[in-house]
Amino acid sequence: MAAKKIITVFGATGAQGGSVVDIFLHDPKLKPEWAVRAVTRDTTKASATKLQSQGAEVISADNNDKASLVKAMTGATAVYAVTNYWEKMDMQLEIQQGKNLVDAAKDAGVQQFIWSSLYNVNKLSNGKLPHVYHFDSKAEVESYAREVGIPATFFMPGFYMSNFPGGVFRQSPQNNNAWTLALPVPETAVVPMFDPADTGKYIKAAVLHRDEVLGRHILGATSYMTLGEIVDAFRKAYPEAGKTAGYAELPHDLYVKILTGTGMPEFAAVELLENMRLLKEYGYYGGESLDETHKLVEDKLTTWEEFMRKAPAFKDLK
């Protein structure tokens, strides 16, 4: 029997990486052909030992240490790489870590490097939205991977559905505790709805269609919805709680003030404001259709209605 191909998954205990590990360990189509090498900083934590018990090889590597990255990728056919800007909120650090991953993939001779990327908002907006660092940093790494010439595919995660329940969509003490979705853009702003638990479905499509998707973007979204449609779906799902549910468009300065009031640095609050403005003014994916991606993905993607049903913040609603 031929040896299994290896996929090295970075961020294996996080939302995106964890989903990729899960599908490669359990999917009937992938499991016979692929072995999983799960990369995490701390191999002793419970989430890491759980992966080991499920059959993954769990190893430690550090995005700041290229030698450890080469070791993690050596012998792997495919790699799923993701970095976390919000951990340090340092754009240059994230770019350097991403470049380290690209260089390691080149040194290790990886046949498909799948980078969790995003669009360059500064370019997309012609400089009007210059502070969306967590997009632009990932786009810089994508450009570098293209320059280096490694065989790469670029996964573009959409807007996390998990940001809504209990986050930007919650009960408002100022409005008789009605459920309110409040953001600094009109309710006509369009959101690409993405459940991070679906990440593996897209990465499965990427490896099954490798030749077709090299050099291409895979858009991680089930559908486009306006913010108003997101509230309407909530009203239908929870008729009682939904009676008073509504949308509130926040003034830009108030939105920044609310975020800085939680202890967020002002530069990061401005970054999130511009991130929200992107939805309305230029499109999260620059208006790109989801159709090409959906043709490749064979597993059913999670809808907003399905996500609401499993959201802890909504669990007691009627």
* Residue found under tokens 């009031």: 261
Contact 184, 250 (CB under 8 A): yes
For residue 171, name the pLDDT band (cuts at 50, 70, 90): very high
What DSSP string describes 42-55?
-TTSHHHHHHHHTT
Among candidate residues 192, 198, 201, the one with its CA nearest the CA of residue 298? 201
Looking at residue 2, its pLDDT comes to: 77
pLDDT (tens digit per residue) in 55-98: 999 999 999 999 999 999 999 999 999 999 999 999 999 999 99
Q: Is 179 exposed, middle or buried (0-12, 13-18, 19+ CB in 10 A)?
A: buried
pLDDT of 254 higher than 80: yes
For residue 169, name the pLDDT band (cuts at 50, 70, 90): very high
Phi, psi of 257 (to 5 degrees): -65, -40
Which DSSP category does 203 fall into?
H
CA distance 37 to 129: 38
pLDDT (tens digit per residue) in 13-53: 999 999 999 999 999 999 999 999 999 988 999 999 999 99
* Superfamily of the domain at 5-157+196-220+286-301: NAD(P)-binding Rossmann-like Domain (3.40.50.720)
For residue 175, name the pLDDT band (cuts at 50, 70, 90): confident
Among candidate residues 197, 158, 181, 165, the one with its CA nearest the CA of residue 279? 158
Q: pTM to 2 decimals?
A: 0.97
* Length of the chain, in residues: 318
CA distance 171 to 181: 9
